[in-house]
Amino acid sequence: MKEENENITKLEQERDQLNEMVNKGIGFEVKDFDVIEKPMFFGLVKKRKLVPVVRKFKIEEPTLGTLDRLSCEWIEFALDEERLQSDDGMKEARTMVNHHAKRCAKVIALAVLGEDYLIPTPGRNGFVKYVEDSKRLDKLTSLFARNIKPSKLYQLYTLVNLMCNLGDFLNSIRLMSTDRTSMPVRIEENNGV
């Protein structure tokens, strides 16, 4: 009995820590460069210099729309496990890098942008229209594709999956699917037949 209570306490603590992480979000850093222009010869010529910078990003719990956009990218990943296990496994792995490297960077960029990917603009008749910020998405995708190593990609993907909070999403679906008021009730089941 005591052991069972300890296990329940540990699970509750783990759930609390997970909820706290999901609510706060998780940050990461990427090294990049900025270009600084220095005017020379009375401003007639500008000398450009690269300065290293560290850019900070944060992955927060995504909205349902962001989850949908992430799913659209995830569904495009196609793994042929048999070919990876064959003699040509390394060749297949290199082919997959060619096909999916940009997509991996795009998934991280979508997770970072979250709901900021859609920009609200005034529409007709007082409605708000949302426009995709594809320039910012492309810029972040390019940055992550240049600077994220495979080991870091694995860590970030783990964080994205953690932040997606798919357990709560699935539990919500389970609740909605079982508690429908319009669900037909079979008469045979109620009569014990």
Task: Tell which residue, 52, 48, 44, has the closest CA to residue 36.
Answer: 48
| Angstrom distance (rounded) from CA 190 to CA 17 | 43
Q: Which residues of the chain register pLDDT less than 50?
A: none
pLDDT value, residue 181: 61
- 102 phi, psi to nearest 5 deg: -65, -40
pLDDT value, residue 183: 60
User: Tokens 């401003």 label which residue?
Assistant: 43
User: What count of Cα atoms within 13 Å lies in the side-chain half-sphere of residue 51?
Assistant: 10
pTM of the full structure: 0.74
pLDDT value, residue 173: 85
What single-letter DSSP state applies at residue 87?
T
Task: Tell which residue, 82, 133, 137, has the closest CA to residue 108.
Answer: 137
User: Tokens 């990609």 label which residue?
Assistant: 153
Pairing of the two strands 118-122 and 128-132: antiparallel
pLDDT value, residue 88: 80
